[in-house]
Every structure is written in structure tokens, then in C-alpha cells.
Homo-oligomer: A and B are copies of this chain.
């Protein structure tokens, strides 16, 4: 087994366990057992559970962004704000660790999230504003609305959707795809323009995703260096 394959198998095991039992209750031994490797093999890759988790977050963020982008690319109308919102919500829902990170689910993230204040959302919020502005420039989002407010409303809806299942039982709730579709309609009615130039929207999203990847990954690498 190559190093890269083994590393990925370990991270697969870690995401399964952490999404199910939470960060605090998952040990390096648990991960080794789930991945069918020795504990020593894990320490060949990372010096600690924290470092492993750091690598896991980098991988999961990349996967979420790539998953969102490929859903958008595969959809002819994918570059419109309502279809992007639809695909983004479904991609987020499919990544339990990212979803936990998005909603600060301390049951899953444990100590990792408890030591951070609301300020950690600053960057995500700024990226959202810049993206709305670019979509306004491309005339794909109404430009009579304030970009900060528009981005804030998008966040409210996304948080609400990710959290609502803790309030309303799944038997009562409509299926996620239908909800995402109804929210996309709402976004279209509220924010979209008549312009449906999907390719311009896709280009804006590619640009955003590259920026987020570069910023996030270089931050994580700096953190990793600092931890070494």
C-alpha cells in the first residue's frame, strides 16, 4: 500500500468515526482499528490526533468545494445563483464533518470548536460578500440589494436549514432535495435577475473556489508548521 493510499484510508476512517462519535471521543487507536492499520502507521503520517484532524479538514474542505463545483459544472443552468445555492446545499448536506463545522456542532467537533469564538466566521462571511459583488457585476444577482445584506441572508437560510433537523423530526420534514429546490426558488424570486448567463456565474464560482482553497490551505499549512 502506497503512503498516499494509506493516508487516505486513515482519513476515511477518521471522518466516519468523528462524524459518528465526535472528535473528543475518537482516539488514534479507534482510527487505526477502523482503518485496519497499526497505530504506528498513523504516527508515520501525523504526530498527533490534532495534526491528523488538521489534514482531514484540509481534505474535506477541498472535497466539498470540488463536489460543489462539479455539481454546478454538470448543470447547464448551474451558474445561476439559485442553482448554485441548490447544489451548494446538497453538497454541504453530503459532508457530515463540513456540515458540523458549518453549524459549530460541538457534539461532533468537541474541543476543536469550543476553543474558537464567533470570529472564525469572519473570513467565510467576507468571501460571501465578495462573491455576491462579483455576481452583481455579472448581473446575475440584483444589484439594488446591498451585497453584505444579501450575503447575510444567504447565511441565515443555510444555517437555518442545517439546524432545523434538531427541531423538527425527520418524519415531519420534507425530503432534503425538495427543500433545497424550494429554497432555490425562493433565492431566484428574491435575488436573481432576468439574466441567466450560466457561464459567467460558473466562472465567478471557479474564481471563488480557487481563492478559498488557497487561503484555507495555506492557513492550515501554517498552522501545521506552527504545531510541529
- The reply to whether A159 and B164 form a contact with Cβ atoms under 8 Å apart is yes
Q: How large is the interface on A (under 10, 10 to 19, 20 to 34, 35 or more residues)?
A: 35 or more
Q: Which of A28-36, A114-122, A198-206 is found at the contact surface with chain B? A: A114-122
Q: Which of B117, B121, B179 contacts A152 (CB 8 A)?
A: B179
Give Cα distance in the complex from A148 to B172, angstroms: 9
The reply to whether the CB of A40 lies closer than 8 angstroms to some CB of chain B is no
- The reply to whether B149 and A178 form a contact with Cβ atoms under 8 Å apart is yes
The SS class assigned to the A binding surface is helix
Q: How many copies does the complex hold?
A: 2
- The reply to whether A183 and B164 form a contact with Cβ atoms under 8 Å apart is no
The reply to whether the CB of A210 lies closer than 8 angstroms to some CB of chain B is no
Give Cα distance in the complex from A190 to B153, angstroms: 14
A to B CB contacts below 8 Å, 25 in the list: A104-B167, A118-B165, A118-B166, A118-B167, A122-B169, A122-B172, A125-B172, A145-B182, A148-B174, A149-B174, A153-B182, A153-B183, A155-B160, A156-B157, A156-B160, A156-B164, A156-B179, A157-B157, A159-B163, A160-B163, A163-B163, A185-B190, A189-B189, A189-B190, A190-B190
User: Using Cβ atoms and an 8 Å threshold, which residues of chain B touch A163?
Assistant: 159-160, 163
Given the known inter-chain contacts A159-B163, A163-B159, please indicate yes or no for A153 contacting B186, CB distance below 8 A. yes
Q: Which of B119, B160, B166, B186 contacts A169 (CB 8 A)?
A: B119
